[in-house]
A = this chain, B = another copy of it.
Amino acid sequence: MKLDNIDLQLLELLQQDSKMNVKEIATQLNLTKTPIYERIKRFEKEGIIEKYVAVLNRKIISQSMIVFCSVSLESQKIDEINAFSEAVRQIPEVMECYLMGGINDFLLKVTVKDLNAYHHFSSGKLAVLPNVGQIKSTFVLNEIKRSTVFPLSL
């Protein structure tokens, strides 16, 4: 799986705006629609492009609160980690979850409507999971940047 320069430019464009039509992209990259079309199909087939999604404006839909929470487990056995991981995947408020190095904790990015909803999530959905130890919540005051574009280079 190797990507040439055109591939990278194409992926960059699609990461910014997937609704651009093939002809338009072709013009920008100095090609015709067929090569662009084929490259995109290849990306989809090989899983380089996982999916296409609509990005919503968080403020308008009034899901305006983001909270990062650090969760430590009481046991770090692999089975326990897997069980917690699977449970967290089922919770829609958890938009991202990472197993962190160094401290062996999980970092969760949680989106909720307001503080009340966060309380409901934290005590009702998260703390009740088996094996959960300490939970530390830090609230986001301001979203400075949110990008979906991976920095690509050869």
Contact = CB atoms under 8 A, between A and B. Distances in A.
B17 A99 contact: no
Contact of A88 (B53, B138, B140, B144): B144
How many A residues are at the interface, by size bracket? 35 or more
A68 B151 contact: no
Interface string A97-118: 1111111001100011000000
A15 B61 CA distance: 13
A37 interface: no
A72 B14 CA distance: 34
A111 B15 contact: no
Given A145-B96, A147-B95, A148-B148, A52 B103 contact: no
Contacts of A5: none
A132 to B, nearest CB: 14
Nearest to A92: B151
Interface string A133-153: 000001111111111111110
Contacts of A146: 95-96
